[in-house]
C-alpha cells in the first residue's frame, strides 16, 4: 500500500485543524505550570502584605477583647466594632487574593493562551463511559502522570531537605530569641522556604510544558489524505477550479469579441494571429488593443471584423509583436507607436477614399518600424 494511503498520521496539523481544535477547547495546557505560579504568587503576596495582615488581625483581636460593658450590651455598638474590624482586613486580604488570582491567570494562560469554548463545557456521554475511564486509567497519559507525580515528590523532598539542612541553625536559634521577634523570624523563614519550594517546581514545568505542547500536536497530527481533503474542501476540487477558470475564460472571450465591431483595424499574420486595435483621436492617448487571438480565435476575430466592415490588414511581424507585448483593453507599447501609426494612417486614408474624399492611398509598407526586441 502506498505511503499516502497508509492512514498513518505523519503530517503536522494545519492552521485550520489547530483553529478548529481551539474552538473545541483542545489546547496545550500544563497544570504544573499553573500550580507553580499559584504557589509562587501566594508566597510573594504573603511577603508583601503579610505584615499588614498581621497588624490588622492583631488590632482586631485587641479591639475584640477590650470591649466595654456598654458596647457589649448595645447591639448597634457591636455591629460598629465588627464593621471596623472587617474593614481593617479587607485591604490586605484583597491584595493577597488579587496577586494570587493574577498569578493563577498568567500560569494557566502562558501555555496555550486564552481560550473559551462552549463546546468544551457541554456534557459528553463519552466522558462518562466506564470503558473510556479504564483507558484513561491505564493509558499512556496515566503512566506519564504517574512519572510526573514521582518526580514532583522527589523534587520537593530534596528541595525541602536542602532547605532544612541549610537553615537548621537558624531554626534552632528561634528558641533563644526574644518574643515576639522569634515569631516574626519564624514566619519569615517559613515564607522563604514556601517560595523556594514553589520555585523548585520549575524543574517539573521545564519537562511538562514542552511535553504537553508536543502531545497536543501529536494528537492533532493528520494523514496525507486528510490534508488533501481539507485543501480540497477549503479551496475547491481541481475539477471545480478548472470549471471556474473555463467559465471565466469564456466570459472574457465573449467580452473581447463584443469589442471587435468597435475596433478600427484588425491586423493579422494573416492566418495564425489576429489583433484588433481601436484609437479614439478625440481623447488622445495611445491606441488600445481590444481583442487578440491565435488559430481558431484569430479566425473568429477576422470573421466578426468582416461582418461589421472592420478593415483587416496583413502584417505578420506587427501582429505577432502586438499579440505578445500588449494586453486586452490596455495601451499598446510605446515602442510600437510608429508602426501602428502607419497602419492607422493607411486605414484613415482608405476610409476617406471609400467616401470619395481622397485618392487611393499608397499600399502599406511590408516592412514596418518594429524594434528588434519586439520581433517574435
Residue-level pLDDT at 22:
79
Which of 173, 202, 221 lies at the terminal end of a domain, its last residue? Answer: 221
CA 308 to chain centre: 55
Pair 128, 35 in one domain:
yes
Pair 268, 215 in one domain:
no
b/e per residue, 155-173, with b = 16+ CB within 10 A?
Answer: bbeebeeebeeeeeeeeee
Domain count for the chain, please give it: 2
As a whole number, mean pLDDT of residues 347-376 equals 80
CA nearest to 30, candidates 152, 208, 199:
208
Q: Is residue 350 included in any domain, yes or no? A: yes
Which of 221, 246, 270 lies at the terminal end of a domain, its last residue? Answer: 221
Pair 170, 265 in one domain:
no
Q: Is residue 227 included in any domain, yes or no? A: no
Q: Is residue 4 included in any domain, yes or no? A: no
More confident residue, 19 or 233: 19
Q: Is residue 248 included in any domain, yes or no? A: no
Residue-level pLDDT at 3:
44
Residue-level pLDDT at 97:
93
High-pLDDT (> 70) share of the chain, %: 87
**268: containing domain:** 261-374
Whole-model pTM: value is: 0.52
Q: Is residue 36 included in any domain, yes or no? A: yes
Residue 189 and residue 195: Cα distance in Å, rounded? 10
Pair 171, 304 in one domain:
no
Residue-level pLDDT at 77:
79
Residue-level pLDDT at 4:
45
Which of 164, 198, 221 lies at the terminal end of a domain, its last residue? Answer: 221
Pair 179, 280 in one domain:
no
Question: Residue 320: is its pLDDT beyond 70?
Answer: yes
Pair 190, 272 in one domain:
no
Q: Is residue 194 included in any domain, yes or no? A: yes
Pair 269, 359 in one domain:
yes
Pair 31, 108 in one domain:
yes
Residue-level pLDDT at 218:
84
Mean pLDDT value across the chain: 81
Pair 195, 342 in one domain:
no
As a whole number, mean pLDDT of residues 211-221 equals 85
CA nearest to 122, candidates 244, 23, 255, 28:
23
Residue-level pLDDT at 137:
62
Residue 274 and residue 276: Cα distance in Å, rounded? 7
What is the crossing angle of helices 224-235 and 15-23, to 10°? 90
pLDDT-derived band at 2, boundaries 50, 70, 90: very low
Question: Residue 38: is its pLDDT beyond 90?
Answer: yes
Q: Is residue 3 included in any domain, yes or no? A: no
As a whole number, mean pLDDT of residues 106-120 equals 76
More confident residue, 40 or 52: 40
Question: Residue 101: is its pLDDT beyond 90?
Answer: yes
What confidence tens digit (pLDDT) does each residue in 145-193 have?
Answer: 788 888 888 988 999 999 889 888 888 888 887 877 777 888 888 888 9
Question: Residue 236: is its pLDDT beyond 60?
Answer: no
Pair 272, 181 in one domain:
no
Pair 191, 46 in one domain:
yes
pLDDT-derived band at 44, boundaries 50, 70, 90: very high
Pair 199, 302 in one domain:
no
As a whole number, mean pLDDT of residues 343-356 equals 82
What confidence tens digit (pLDDT) does each residue in 300-309 have?
Answer: 888 888 888 8
Q: Is residue 170 included in any domain, yes or no? A: yes
Distance between start and end Cα atoms, the chain: 50
Query: Cα 157–149–198 angle (5° rounding)?
Result: 50
- CA torsion sign, 369 to 346 to 272 to 261? positive
What confidence tens digit (pLDDT) does each residue in 56-98 have?
Answer: 888 888 877 777 777 777 788 778 888 888 888 888 899 999 9
As a whole number, mean pLDDT of residues 273-298 equals 83
Looking up residue 312, the CATH number of its domain turns out to be 3.40.1690.10
Residue-level pLDDT at 100:
92
Amino acid at each position: 500500500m502506498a505511503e499516502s494511503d497508509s492512514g498513518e498520521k505523519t503530517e503536522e496539523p494545519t492552521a485550520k485543524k489547530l483553529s478548529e481544535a481551539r474552538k473545541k477547547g483542545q489546547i496545550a495546557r500544563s497544570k504544573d505550570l499553573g500550580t507553580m505560579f499559584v504557589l509562587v504568587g501566594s508566597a510573594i503576596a504573603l511577603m508583601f502584605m503579610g505584615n499588614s495582615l498581621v497588624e490588622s488581625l492583631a488590632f482586631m483581636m485587641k479591639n475584640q477583647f477590650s470591649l466595654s460593658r456598654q458596647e457589649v450590651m448595645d447591639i448597634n455598638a457591636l455591629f460598629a466594632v465588627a464593621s471596623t474590624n472587617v474593614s481593617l482586613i479587607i485591604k490586605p486580604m484583597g491584595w493577597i487574593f488579587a496577586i494570587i488570582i493574577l498569578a493563577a491567570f498568567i500560569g494557566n494562560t502562558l501555555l496555550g493562551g486564552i481560550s473559551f469554548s462552549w463546546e468544551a463545557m457541554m456534557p459528553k456521554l463519552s466522558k462518562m463511559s466506564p470503558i473510556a475511564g479504564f483507558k484513561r486509567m491505564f493509558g499512556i497519559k496515566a503512566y506519564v502522570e504517574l512519572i510526573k507525580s514521582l518526580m514532583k515528590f522527589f523534587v520537593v523532598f530534596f528541595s525541602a531537605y536542602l532547605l532544612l539542612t541549610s537553615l537548621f541553625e537558624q531554626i534552632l536559634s528561634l528558641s533563644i530569641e526574644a518574643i515576639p521577634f522569634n515569631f516574626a523570624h519564624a514566619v519569615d523563614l517559613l515564607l522563604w522556604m514556601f517560595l523556594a519550594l514553589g520555585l523548585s517546581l520549575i524543574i517539573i514545568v521545564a519537562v511538562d510544558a514542552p511535553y504537553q505542547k508536543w502531545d497536543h500536536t501529536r494528537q492533532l497530527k493528520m494523514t496525507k489524505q486528510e490534508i488533501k481533503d481539507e485543501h480540497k474542501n477549503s479551496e475547491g476540487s481541481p475539477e471545480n477550479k478548472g470549471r471556474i477558470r473555463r467559465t471565466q475564460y469564456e466570459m472574457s472571450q465573449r467580452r473581447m469579441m463584443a469589442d471587435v465591431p468597435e475596433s478600427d483595424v484588425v491586423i493579422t499574420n494573416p492566418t495564425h494571429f489576429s489583433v484588433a486595435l481601436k484609437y479614439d483621436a478625440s481623447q488622445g492617448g495611445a491606441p488600445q488593443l481590444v481583442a487578440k487571438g491565435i488559430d481558431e480565435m484569430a479566425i473568429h476575430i477576422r470573421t466578426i471584423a468582416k461582418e461589421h466592415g472592420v478593415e483587416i490588414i496583413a502584417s505578420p511581424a506587427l501582429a505577432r509583436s502586438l499579440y505578445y507585448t500588449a494586453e486586452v483593453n490596455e495601451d499598446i507599447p510605446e515602442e510600437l507607436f510608429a508602426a501602428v501609426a502607419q497602419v492607422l494612417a493607411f486605414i484613415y486614408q482608405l476610409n476617406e477614399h471609400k467616401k470619395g474624399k481622397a485618392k487611393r492611398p499608397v499600399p502599406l509598407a511590408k516592412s514596418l518600424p518594429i524594434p528588434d526586441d519586439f520581433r517574435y
